[in-house]
Amino acid sequence: MYSYYLIIVLAPLAAAIVAGLFGRQIGRAGSHWITILAVGLSCAFSCLVLRNMFWGGAESENISVYTWAVTDGLNMEVGFLVDRLTALMMAVVTFVSLMVHVYTIGYMHDDPGYQRFFSYISLFTFSMLMLVMSNNFLQLFFGWEAVGLMSYLLIGFWFKRENAIFANLKAFLVNRLGDFGFILGISGIVMFTGSLDYAEVFARADSVAAQNIEVFSGTPWNAMTVICVLLFMGAMGKSAQAPLHVWLPDSMAGPTPISALIHAATMVTAGIFMVARMSPLFELSATALAVVIVIGAITAFFTGLLGIVQNDIKRVIAYSTLSQLGYMTVALGASAYGAAIFHLMTHAFFKSLLFLAAGSVIIALHHEQDIRKMGGLRKYMPITYWTALIGSLALIGFPGSSGFFSKDLLIEAVKESHWHGQGAVYWIAYLSVLLGVFVTALYSFRMFFLVFHGEERTDAKTRSHIHESPWVVTVPLVVLAVPSAIIGWITVEPILFDGFFGDAIVVRQGIDVLAHLKETIWHGSFALFLHAVQTPVFWLAAAGAFTAWFLYLKRPDIPATIKARFSGLYNLLDRKYYMDDLYIKGFAAGGRSIGNALWQKGDQLVIDGIIVNGTANSIGKLAGVMRQIQTGYLYTYAFAMIIGLTMLLSWLIWFR
């Protein structure tokens, strides 16, 4: 299997290098074929690894590829840890990436940066594979920063557009905040364990949890809590958790294929995966888990509300991603790591489907993205319509869809978790994910109805050219629609209830909520339907979809009345809780003001004006005075010598 792993991770890298450096020589077709074949090969071997793990009973492998450096006994190496968690992530990443690669042929057909784009997305896939396959923190950090770099390049791919440059810079800077905490967390691990290797660190986790660290003098904090909170700061940046979520909606400035790849399978899932991988550490700090679950709950509910007032089709889906990432984070905080990864997997399929369907609509409408200027597209784009419907139903957790199994069971896990009965933390988490169901259904079907149903709001010229997208766009939609509809049926029992992850995920004894759910509510898929209709989740989703139908199809006049009557609330949501103002007009503008003050007062006035130029001016003035003494007349010099000699003799006599 060792050779398989090298092929999986190196094939996209090799293709990216060829397409990037020799794209002009091999042409547009050569660039897309070599990258698609490489990612397809990586996907095939990843699925083979997953099959061997899933059905073949293959054992986990921890392999050291090569040692990069050894310093003071600290090994810095490249290696692979391939267990069931890794195998699942590899298959999801490569499969979604393959669909995005194929889709890109149609979406980026006329773009002058065609070869460069294929090189970037193939390199993005390599970066994510390095992250999920790592067996040590050094390689994890390499993959972590590599996906950040590639997101910067891809969000700003259209570098002549001011909004794209602003968006990629925003993503880069916000992620630096999270990554600062992340690298401090890794440093803490090295300080307390003397190792970067996962296996060694996990083996010494109990001893770390028994120690304290004084971040501030005289205030001891538990070392494991500090480390886990710092690691989670990294996850907050990469997986866009509040308040570090502000970069993700702006990432829509990049081409739609990269929106699908970032949101579904690569960068934003990195934080969720990392916390699940670090479960042996997080399980030793109840405080860190409390931080995780509260941050996730806030993100799940409040960013979902923002999706209701968005009019850009891609931004609606982007806020949906933020909300669903919050759901996954809540599951992590409830120690239901398996439920978080299961929802990550199903979300990857239906969210990439929704983004690519949105891209199909954008192509048909000549890059129009305002849903208020759409409507009635169902009869023009039947394939896009039905696949978008499947994605929307999966997103709201419609019974039978993949989202039904992952989302409903995630909410049940939160409800029955060890936080139950522990006050505010529990109610914040549970009510957020519960009410978020209504919000999700409302914004999802608001978008769906405004785009595909109702009156046609496109102009006559655009309407005359609307047609279904080409096969390179629609085939990935159909392929992604299949797992979005049925993958839950196949995988729910083994992943959630039959211990699929094994030792890859660790949960403290006595708080395994998935084991509890297996005993209480899991009696097969059909029994879950019967259970679902008896819970608020089903009815809240139905109420959200019905509300969207009533407001945007039956009585489209009502939303304007609501907007006028609740203008303060609308403005709060439209301005995104003023978080962008806080960052841009507060922190960023404040930083620039401090910099300008230091430049004008410190640099120009003190350093240049007083120290550098002041010294030069003083010497110049002194030289001007001294120059007056140099007359050139002999009697003047003789007179000066006599005066000086007289003063010297007087001093000697006086102080004798």
Cβ–Cβ < 8 Å for 407, 330: no
CA dist., res. 293 & res. 131, Å (int): 24
For residue 602, pLDDT beyond 80: no
pTM beyond 0.85: the answer is yes
Q: Which of 266-275, 571-580, 589-598 has the lowest mean pLDDT?
A: 589-598
- How far apart, in Å, do the first and last CA atoms of the chain sit? 99
CA dist., res. 403 & res. 412, Å (int): 14
Look at residue 296 in the predicted model and tell me its pLDDT: 96
CA dist., res. 521 & res. 297, Å (int): 24
Two tokens at 487?
A: 């993958």
**Backbone angles phi and psi of 591, in degrees to 5:** -65, -40
Kindly state the DSSP code that residue 370 receives in the 8-state scheme. B
Look at residue 259 in the predicted model and tell me its pLDDT: 86
Three-state secondary structure readout of 30-65: HHHHHHHHHHHHHHHHHHHHHHHHHCCCCCCEEEEE
User: Tens digit of pLDDT for each residue in 391-444?
Assistant: 999 999 999 899 999 999 999 999 999 888 788 899 999 999 999 999 999 999
Sign of the dihedral through C-alpha 429, 434, 440, 442: negative
Look at residue 599 in the predicted model and tell me its pLDDT: 73
Length of the chain: 656
By percentage, how much of the chain surpasses pLDDT 90? 66
User: Tens digit of pLDDT for each residue in 510-549?
Assistant: 889 999 998 888 887 777 887 888 889 999 999 999 999 9
**Peptide bond preceding 476: is omega within 30 degrees of 0, i.e. cis?**
no
CA dist., res. 372 & res. 454, Å (int): 11
Looking at per-residue confidence, does 650 or 225 come out higher?
A: 225
Look at residue 539 in the predicted model and tell me its pLDDT: 93
For residue 15, pLDDT beyond 70: yes
For residue 452, pLDDT beyond 90: yes
For residue 593, pLDDT beyond 90: no
Type and span of the H or E element at 220: strand 219-222
Type and span of the H or E element at 78: strand 74-82
For residue 655, pLDDT beyond 90: no
Type and span of the H or E element at 380: none
Look at residue 198 in the predicted model and tell me its pLDDT: 95
**Backbone angles phi and psi of 62, in degrees to 5:** -120, 105
For residue 612, pLDDT beyond 80: no
Q: Kind of pairing, strands 212-216 and 219-222?
A: antiparallel
Read off the pLDDT band of 67 (50, 70, 90): confident
Look at residue 408 in the predicted model and tell me its pLDDT: 92
User: Tens digit of pLDDT for each residue in 379-391?
Assistant: 999 999 999 999 9
Mean pLDDT of 231-240: 94
Rg of the chain's alpha carbons, rounded to an integer?
Answer: 31
Mean pLDDT of 201-226: 90
State whether residue 69 is helix, strand or coil.
strand
Furthest-apart CA atoms within the chain: distance in Å: 120
CA dist., res. 127 & res. 149, Å (int): 9
Two tokens at 23?
A: 């794209």
Cβ–Cβ < 8 Å for 276, 223: no
Look at residue 656 in the predicted model and tell me its pLDDT: 61
User: Tens digit of pLDDT for each residue in 336-375?
Assistant: 999 999 999 999 999 999 999 999 999 989 888 999 999 8
Look at residue 334 in the predicted model and tell me its pLDDT: 95
Looking at per-residue confidence, does 632 or 146 come out higher?
A: 146
CA nearest neighbour of 324 among 304, 350, 305: 304
State whether residue 534 is helix, strand or coil.
coil
Look at residue 74 in the predicted model and tell me its pLDDT: 85
Could you tell me which residues come within 8 angstroms of residue 364 by beta carbon, excluding any fewer than 6 positions away? 377, 380, 381, 384, 466, 467, 468, 469
Query: How far is Cα of residue 653 from the mean position of the Cα atoms in its chain?
Result: 86
Kindly state the DSSP code that residue 470 receives in the 8-state scheme. P
Read off the pLDDT band of 153 (50, 70, 90): very high
